[in-house]
Amino acid sequence: MVVLNRIYTRTGDQGQTSLGSGERRPKWDIRVAAYGTIDETNASIGMARLSTRVESQMIDDMLGRIQNDLFDLGADLCTPDTGADLGYEPLRIIASQVSRLESEIDLLNKDLEPLRSFVLPGGTAGAAALHVSRTICRRAERLMTELASNKAEKVGEPALQYVNRLSDFLFVASRHLNLGASGDVLWTPGANR
């Protein structure tokens, strides 16, 4: 259980923060950047939901579950797996969370036409907002894979899979929202030459 009775602690005033293991790291550390960008993804999904709750209750419900998963993912990244006994079982993303995302992608994708061009971010307000979330999610994925490339830093395979599937989900969900409106906004190569 998380208890926050004091919001400011002054422990970060010198540019350091604590990981879930208690280890102190600089705030610019790539692990901190990775889970911070997951938090940014979550916040952008929260903004997207202002529109999706009107445009599609089904997608909004999916996004609510995803927001909770993103806190799980942040907790996972915040607590490096060093093999040390922390006195508690750290929260980790698991395969069933990835599988649920894949099932939801398949559900949303089944009514969509195959793409014959790249999609421009746009369409409904919800679709455009989900494209913003998708690009933030991709940045988080780049940071996570960079972190995982360092042999001294472990990132769980389900966590990496989850963030990859999430950007796919956000793309398909944006297309699904546009399906009921004006359809995809497609790129026309060289259209303005």
The 10s digit of each residue's pLDDT in 54-71 is 999 999 999 999 999 999
For residue 183, name the pLDDT band (cuts at 50, 70, 90): confident
- Per-residue pLDDT averaged across 14-21, rounded? 75
* Residue 52 within any structural domain of the chain: yes
**Is 54 domain-assigned?**
yes
In this structure, is residue 193 part of a structural domain? no
- Going by DSSP bridges, is the β-strand pair 24-26/16-18 parallel, antiparallel, or unpaired? antiparallel
Entry pTM: 0.91
Q: Please check whether residue 5 lies inside any domain of the structure.
A: no
Nearest CA among 34, 42, 70 for reference residue 149: 34
pLDDT of residue 22: 73
Q: Is 150 helix (H, G, I), strand (E, B) or coil?
A: coil
Does residue 171 belong to any structural domain of this protein? yes
- 93 contacts 76 by C-beta, under 8 angstroms: yes
The pLDDT score that the predictor gives to residue 72 is: 97
Task: Report if residue 83 sits inside a domain.
Answer: no
Q: What is the CATH number of the domain that holds 135?
A: 1.20.1200.10
Q: How many domains does the chain have?
A: 1
* Domain assignment of residue 40, given as a range: 27-78+92-106+119-179
Q: Which of 110, 103, 18, 19 is nearest to 66 (CA)?
A: 103
For residue 9, pLDDT beyond 90: no
Closest CA to 28 of 37, 56, 1: 37
- Residue 113 is assigned to a structural domain of this protein: no
**100 assigned to some structural domain:** yes
Q: What are phi and psi of 5, to 5 degrees?
A: -105, -10
Residue bearing tokens 């990496």: 160
